[in-house]
Structure 1
Amino acid sequence: MSHRYGYFAAAWAAVFACVHFFWALGGDVGLAASAGERLAAERPGWFVAGGLWGVGFACVAGGLLGLGLSRRDGCGRSLGLLGWAAAALLLVRGIGVELLIILGAPEISAEQRFWTLVLWNPWFILGGVLFGLAVVSRRTPAQSGRTATPGSGAGS
């Protein structure tokens, strides 16, 4: 299986980091549709520090994790566990919020509802899938129950 999924996960995280850093530096395109009109307009310090800068730096860490997962000689089991944790967190967030909005739980604007359903939650789900695939693609033939035969290209 290809190790490029780690690169895809890293690219996913880099794009998400750039969006958050753009917002943290004062950009506003898409912020109201993501965080809500009140937070986008007021930009309280806790939101800018944690929700924008903090998430941006967490995405940088996710990008580094994706790069680590792309290496066949990665850091072993602990890197895989971090990858599974990232995948699970992103999937739970994406699917959970999607279900809450579909079921009508949160009180949000029609614009925020639309963009959350068609962009933000699918983006989280995509990230979860990419990190999961990156972990699975790190498995050696012995770990996946297959054995390599000389000249078969397995394990390369």
Structure 2
Amino acid sequence: MGGSFRNQGEFMRSRVSPGRRWGHAAAAWSGIFAGAHFYWALGGSKGLDVSAGSRLAEERPLWFVAAGLWGVGSALVVGAVLGRALARTGPTVRRGRILEWLGWATGLLLLARGVAVELLLLTDATGLEGAVSQGQRFWTLALWNPWFIAGGLSFALAALAYRFERTGGPPTGRYGAGARDKTPEEKEK
């Protein structure tokens, strides 16, 4: 019985390259975050006050529930699909480029959000210190911003790994972006 687990582990390692794991990590990040948004959209309240603020958590205006909870949750489901797609190989060149750029764009957007809000809260550049409760400020600095940064890194690394899988190795072009995508015949060599 113990041997079967070893073989199964070896089998899984041979099928999921280290680079593809970033795609799975991005999908998991999106899935977990989508679950939290759907929980809040369905009426759950745990953690919502320190995420969105106590006023929004208590009042739950229709626009907030529709766009901020259901809408964001749905976008995160799309992100999970993107993460899974980045973990796969074998797309056409055109589809591959689109997936890669979507991965990069998602990663950079999440990184920018996490870093920008972190810096704004740490420096109080907006002058809104009184508008954000101490609890919301703490959890934003300690959990939410690092969570966005982790998601951004997962998507960016998934896009990079996807690029390597698609082109057969690290970027080698004159400007470090790879000269061109390899054709299926070139990949077989």
Normalising by structure 1, what TM-score? 0.90
The amino acid across from 1:101 in the alignment is L
CA distance in 1, matches of 2:170, 2:145: 32
In structure 1, the residue matched to 2:23 is: 6
The amino acid across from 1:3 in the alignment is R
| Superposed CA offset, 1:90-142 (max 9, x none) | 01110011111101133300000000000000000000000001011112335
Normalising by structure 2, what TM-score? 0.74
The amino acid across from 1:103 in the alignment is T
The structure 1 residue matched to 2:63, chosen from 46, 54, 60, is: 46
CA distance in 2, matches of 1:142, 1:48: 44
Tell me whether 1:68 sits opposite 2:102 in the alignment.
Answer: no
CA distance in 1, matches of 2:169, 2:36: 40
Q: Structure 1: where are the runs of 5+ without partners?
A: 147-153
Tell me whether 1:30 sits opposite 2:56 in the alignment.
Answer: no
In structure 1, the residue matched to 2:172 is: 145
In structure 2, the residue matched to 1:82 is: 102
Q: Structure 2: where are the runs of 5+ without partners?
A: 1-17, 174-186
Tell me whether 1:135 sits opposite 2:159 in the alignment.
Answer: yes
Identity rate, percent: 53
The structure 1 residue matched to 2:150, chosen from 104, 126, 143, is: 126
- Coordinate RMSD, CA, aligned: 1.8
The amino acid across from 2:132 in the alignment is I
The amino acid across from 1:115 in the alignment is W
SS in 2 for 1:27: coil
Pick which of 31-40 and 101-110 moved more: 101-110
In structure 2, the residue matched to 1:93 is: 113
1:81 Cα shift? 0.7
Larger helix proportion of the pair: 2
Instruction: Give the number of the structure with larger relative contact order, counting CA–CA contacts within 8 Å between residues 6 or more apart.
Output: 1
Bigger Rg over Cα: 2
